[in-house]
């Protein structure tokens, strides 16, 4: 009897589309709620030692906000791996002792803010690293700055990040430095006159990169044949690429993260588009080659980090990282690694975990030798360093000539 009622109810329900709509909208809401709630899997390291000076060694706790679950978790993974490796190396040196408290932001601004609030409520935290995305960073940094806690972005390359406040820093090379360098070199060699553009329009990083690209292209007087967009996590780019192919560009400027960018290149090459691609910071990763294979050949990027470099420090970093995590490090891991060394250096010079003193000494960072080269902050807390233009040739990154 109950069964019949239930089935009858279902049948009636199915007949009326409006009800289906309401059920569907409930379903969507639930799904959203579920997505928002499933990302609490964070890694926290909790030793009993709080920030104190024992045996003359300064011991500090740094909060880390990183993109560890969701579509872009690969970036957060690389960053936290880089940080953990740096932590190990710094603590082994014995000049300072660093503890990391890692929280997940799931790539969402609101969750990043929650994570930041959780970290800020802990008075023993000296400073913060992260969050991963510029979108998240713009939500978190003003709050953190207001509380007088130093914060540094290791992967946040959009314009205007260090300008948020006195306590806000970054060691990620801004797009406005990297992209024009790459485009200029690419145009110099190929003699390109017409460019097509494609970018992800729902992320501050790829959108910011696109704006820099557009500005540079206009300054250089190049013709833009078409501007195409895609959304995060899309897997079919054939429609956009067919359109680009129809406009016959000499060069394609793709402001994409490597995850999407590599798939875009793969589909473009299959379609018979064989012009070079110029990418932003987020495109520079050996993973692009791992995903796209031969199709990645012809990608031009500017970067502070050249993984195939013969430099002894980078070689050692590559070996250590691969031994620890089983894959090659990318720019994100390298920048995170350097970031913790910048913090460690500031901590050593400050000699205390006081946030104010730490900020002063951090701002004074000058010509610090990291794996990415000499590093200094300018007066607002932005990066001063040299970039190298690279291209992918025969399945690996080489210096672009």
Partner 1 sequence: MLLEQLINGITLGSIYAIIALGFTLVFGVLGIINMAHGEIFMVGAFVGVTTTGVLGWPLWLAFIAAIVVTSILGYLLERITLRPLRGKKGVSHLAPLISTIGVSILLENLSHHIFGAGNKPFNTSFSEIRINIGSITIYLVQIVIFVISILLMIGLTIWLSKTKAGKALRATADNLETASILGVDTKRIIILTVVIASAIGGIAGVLVGMAFNSVSPQMGLSMGLKGLAIIILGGMGNVKGAMVGGLILGLSETMLVAYGNSGYRDAIAFIMIIVILLLRPQGIFGSKVSQERR
Cβ closest to partner 1, residue 277 vs residue 358: 277
Stretch that binds partner 1, among 217-225, 262-270, 338-346, 390-398 (CB under 8 A): 262-270
> Can you tell me which of 42, 59, 132, 240 binds partner 1, judged by CB under 8 A?
240
Query: Is 47 a binder of partner 1 (CB under 8 A)?
Result: no
Cβ closest to partner 1, residue 38 vs residue 376: 38
> Can you tell me which of 239, 322, 356, 374 binds partner 1, judged by CB under 8 A?
239
Tokens read off for 395: 């399945």
Cβ closest to partner 1, residue 135 vs residue 240: 240
CB 67 within 8 A of CB 76: yes
Query: Is 224 a binder of partner 1 (CB under 8 A)?
Result: no
Query: Is 395 a binder of partner 1 (CB under 8 A)?
Result: no
In whole angstroms, the minimum distance from the beta carbon of 26 to partner 1 comes to 7
In whole angstroms, the minimum distance from the beta carbon of 362 to partner 1 comes to 31
In whole angstroms, the minimum distance from the beta carbon of 228 to partner 1 comes to 5
Query: Is 6 a binder of partner 1 (CB under 8 A)?
Result: yes
CB 70 within 8 A of CB 39: yes
Query: Is 72 a binder of partner 1 (CB under 8 A)?
Result: yes
In whole angstroms, the minimum distance from the beta carbon of 217 to partner 1 comes to 18
Cβ closest to partner 1, residue 111 vs residue 361: 111
Tokens read off for 55: 């045996």
> Can you tell me which of 53, 74, 165, 348 binds partner 1, judged by CB under 8 A?
74
CB 44 within 8 A of CB 101: yes
Stretch that binds partner 1, among 35-43, 300-308, 368-376, 393-401 (CB under 8 A): 35-43
Tokens read off for 29: 């809401």
Give the x-and-dash track for 271-310 against partner 1 (CB under 8 A).
xx--------------x--xxxx-----------------
Give the x-and-dash track for 353-392 against partner 1 (CB under 8 A).
----------------------------------------
**φ and ψ at residue 35, rounded to 5 degrees:** -65, -40
Query: Is 160 a binder of partner 1 (CB under 8 A)?
Result: no
Report the interface residues with partner 1, using CB under 8 A: 2-4, 6-7, 9-15, 17-18, 20, 23-24, 26-28, 30-31, 34-35, 38, 41, 69-74, 77, 201, 228-231, 233-240, 242-243, 245-246, 259-260, 262-263, 266-267, 270-272, 287, 290-293
């Amino acid at each position: 009897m109950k069964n019949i009622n239930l089935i009858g109810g279902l049948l009636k329900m199915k007949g009326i589309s409006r009800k289906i709509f309401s059920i569907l909208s409930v379903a969507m809401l639930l799904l959203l709620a579920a997505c928002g709630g499933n990302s609490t899997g964070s890694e926290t390291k909790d030793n009993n030692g709080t920030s104190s000076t024992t045996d003359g060694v300064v011991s500090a706790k740094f909060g880390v906000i990183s993109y560890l679950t969701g579509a872009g978790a690969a970036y957060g993974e690389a960053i936290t791996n880089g940080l953990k490796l740096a932590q190990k190396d710094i603590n082994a040196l014995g000049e300072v002792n660093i503890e990391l408290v890692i929280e997940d932001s799931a790539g969402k601004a609101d969750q990043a803010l929650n994570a930041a609030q959780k970290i800020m409520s802990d008075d023993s935290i000296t400073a913060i690293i992260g969050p991963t995305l510029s979108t998240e960073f713009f939500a978190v940094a003003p709050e953190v700055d207001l509380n007088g806690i130093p914060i540094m972005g290791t992967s946040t390359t959009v314009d205007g990040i260090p300008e948020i406040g006195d306590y806000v820093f970054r060691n990620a090379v801004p797009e406005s430095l990297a992209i024009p360098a790459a485009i200029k070199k690419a145009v110099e060699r190929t003699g390109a006159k017409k460019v097509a553009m494609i970018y992800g329009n729902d992320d501050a990083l790829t959108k910011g990169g696109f704006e820099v690209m557009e500005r540079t292209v206009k300054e250089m007087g190049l013709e833009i044949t078409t501007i195409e967009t895609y959304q995060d996590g899309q897997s079919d780019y054939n429609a956009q690429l067919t359109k680009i192919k129809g406009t016959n560009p000499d060069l394609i400027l793709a402001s994409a993260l490597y995850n999407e960018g590599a798939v875009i290149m793969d589909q473009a090459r299959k379609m018979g588009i064989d012009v070079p691609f110029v990418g932003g910071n987020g495109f520079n990763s050996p993973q692009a080659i791992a995903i796209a294979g031969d199709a990645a050949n012809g990608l031009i990027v500017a970067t502070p980090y050249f993984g195939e470099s013969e430099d002894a420090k980078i070689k050692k970093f590559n070996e250590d990282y691969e031994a620890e995590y089983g894959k090659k490090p990318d720019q994100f891991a390298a920048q995170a690694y350097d970031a913790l060394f910048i913090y460690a250096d500031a901590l050593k010079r400050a000699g205390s975990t006081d946030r104010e003193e730490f900020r002063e000494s951090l701002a004074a960072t000058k010509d610090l030798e990291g794996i990415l080269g000499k590093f200094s902050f300018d007066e607002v807390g932005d990066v001063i360093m040299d970039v190298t233009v690279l291209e992918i040739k025969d399945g690996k990154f080489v210096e672009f000539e």
